[in-house]
Structures are given as structure tokens and as C-alpha cells.
Amino acid sequence: MICHNSVPTPFGEVTVLYHDNPFLLIEILLPRENRKNLAQATPRRKQGNTVAHQKVLLVLGSISDYFKGKPIQPPWEWMDLSRYTNLQRSVLGATADISYGQLRSYREIAEAIGRPRAYRFVGTTLAKNRFPILIPCHRVVKSNFSIGQFSGGADLKRKLIETETTISGLAPKARFPKSTQVKMIRKQRIHIARLNKL
């Protein structure tokens, strides 16, 4: 039976789909996807889910902590990766290795898996990433550092990158409108000033 539980975030509700017995994560639905995909993804879902599985509580807690600036380690042993080939799994693994607040290009991920010309394959694989946030495909951008696509929408991708760069204090590399860049720089200065007072 497919179950689902959600966690509120600054950008809307994130929903986790999973099998409860044995426990296995199926998919993470971002705010833009929730209404559109939840009914389709869980035609035989448990109703109510008033008592969440202990392991899904840990996953929900990790997602909540992520939005507070804490890095996530993907719980690989709980994730259903059966739909991915070995090469696709290597793309997901290389993406999961990108540090909080850092960005990589599709080409750099292709090089990391030993297939430097397979950057389009990397993009196609990440478009099928069923575990956003846990596997941070939002940290992968185009070689010219323009934002690229994202299952949760380009706007959410920008916001996630902004959040990470603000908290980490690292300069953003992705290409944003000037107004957005100014806001990000201001936020970073405020964050650094607060750290200096500690």
C-alpha cells in the first residue's frame, strides 16, 4: 500500500510517498507537483496516514532541517532506485555529492561519471529524479550558469539556490536577474554580519 505524509516548508508543502511494509521511499513531490500529481501517484494510497511510519518521520525531519541550512545525506537504503539503470544511478550519486551551497554543470556531472560527452544524458536523468532535495538536482545548472530546468519549476530552483548561498555565505554562480542578484548579496551581507556578532 502506498502512503504519503507531508512537511511544510518556506515554499509550500513537500510530500513523501512511500510503501509502509516493507518501508521504501517512492517519490518526493515538491510544492508545484503536489496538487497535480498526488492523486495520480497514489491511486491506492492509505487514507488519513494519521500515524506516520517512524522512518518517514526521519525523512520529513531531514527535509525540514534542510530548509534550516543543514545538509542532507540521502537514505539510499530506503530509496526505490529500481527504475534507474546503473549509469543513471551513477549520475544521481554524483549529484548527491555536490556540497550544500555549491553548483555544478551538467557537463561537470558527466565528467564526474567518466562520460564527459554525456551531459545531455545527465540532464535527462536528473529530469527523472524522483527524490529532489534528497538528491539535490537543483544544484546542477547549465554550463553558462543559467538556471536550467527543474521539476519544481525554475522559480523554486532559484529560491533553493538563493537559500543555500545565503546560509552558506558562498557567492552564487547561477545567472539571475540583476534585481535578484542584489537581493542575494544583501541577504549574504546580513547573514555574515550576524555571524560576526556571535
- Surface-to-core class of residue 163, CB atoms within 10 Å of its CB (0-12 exposed, 13-18 middle, 19+ buried): buried
Domain extent listing, the chain? 2-78, 86-197
| CATH number for the domain running over 86-197 | 1.10.10.10
- Predicted TM-score (pTM) of the model is 0.79
Residues belonging to the active site: 137
Residue by residue, pLDDT tens for the chain (198 residues) are 899 999 999 999 999 999 998 999 999 999 976 555 555 555 555 544 556 789 999 999 999 999 988 889 999 999 999 999 999 999 999 999 999 999 999 999 999 999 999 999 999 999 999 999 999 999 999 988 888 888 888 999 999 998 898 887 765 555 545 554 445 445 445 544 554 454
Cell numbers for 87 = 549509469
Instruction: Out of 3.40.50, 3.30.160, 1.10.1760, 1.20.1270, select the CATH number for domain 2-78.
Output: 3.30.160
First to last CA, the chain: 49
Is 134 in contact with 79 (CB distance < 8 Å)?
Answer: yes
Q: What is the pLDDT of residue 38?
A: 55
